[in-house]
Structure 1
Amino acid sequence: MLVLDHVSISVPSIDIARPFYDAIMAALGVDKVYDRPAALGYGARCNASEPFHTYLAIYESATANVDEKRHWCFKATSRAQVNAFYAAGLTTGGKDDGAPGLRPQYHEGYFAAFLLDPFGNRVEAVCHRVE
């Protein structure tokens, strides 16, 4: 059973967030499901016949989330996809918060990268496969 159903975050500017999230979600093969003046949506919403989807919603708000311990981790299917996520984020306004690499303190195959989006939200991509 998947634990993460959806995540909602806020940013002070959708226009600045859009290229960053478009790039990192595309690198992970995640579809954009809507693009509104004050909101973005990626992934797929769950429904009764497909309860195992994951969804990310980004809303424009006067202030961004500020809790430095909060972060969102996205599943990657390969280490190459983690690398693509990291590169896409850096080229669209993100900042390094942990280059791609193994994190054996979690488990043997935990290969992840961490970024801060243009507003300081921490995002991670992880591949759990041992390669």
Structure 2
Amino acid sequence: MLDHVSITVSDISAAEPFYDAIMKMLGVVKVGRRDDWLGYGERARPAYPERIYISIRKGEKPDDAPGRHWCFKAKWRTEVDAFWDAGIAAGGSDDGPPGLRSYHASYYAAFLRDPDGNRIEAVCHYPV
């Protein structure tokens, strides 16, 4: 359904260790880096329209960062756990440790805030 998503951060150098760590735990590879941009996913160029990617772009810190919410799918609950651990170790802040949520019986998620305050979630929808 999605082609790409952009997340704005004020400092690429501060954001890079955080996003490198959480994406690695979800099995997502870095596909590009410039001074003002990080790319993760399946492609680094528009020439591959069948692939998706996530763009971390340098910009002004969004005033509404606490209201921004980005959720990534995890294949296993252990990936959610590893995502949260890696994010905390890389400078993210806790916004809800790994665990079951009330959304449905198998909704296992963890929530972090990146260095700019964006809310980043990983979720596994499968039972153990």
Would the TM-score normalized by the shorter structure come out above 0.5? yes
Counterpart position of 2:100 = 102
**Please, which of 43, 49, 57 is the counterpart of residue 59 of structure 1?**
57
Q: 1:118 is matched by which residue type in structure 2?
A: P
Q: What percent of counterpart residues are identical?
A: 55
Counterpart position of 1:84 = 82
Change (3 A) 1:63 1:79: same
Structure 2: tracts of 5 or more residues without a match: none
Q: How does 1:1-131 map to 2 (within 5 A)?
A: 3-45=1-43, 47=48, 50=50, 53-64=51-62, 66-103=64-101, 105-131=102-128
Q: 1:31 is matched by which residue type in structure 2?
A: V
Q: 2:24 is matched by which residue type in structure 1?
A: A
RMSD: 1.6
Q: TM-score, normalised by structure 1?
A: 0.88
Equivalent-residue separation in structure 2 for 1:31 and 1:12 (angstroms): 22
Q: 4+ residue stretches of structure 1 with deviation over 6 A?
A: none
Q: 1:69 is matched by which residue type in structure 2?
A: G
Q: 2:64 is matched by which residue type in structure 1?
A: V
Q: TM-score, normalised by structure 2?
A: 0.90
Structure 1: tracts of 5 or more residues without a match: none
SS in 2 for 1:90: helix
What is the Cα deviation at residue 67 of structure 1? 4.2
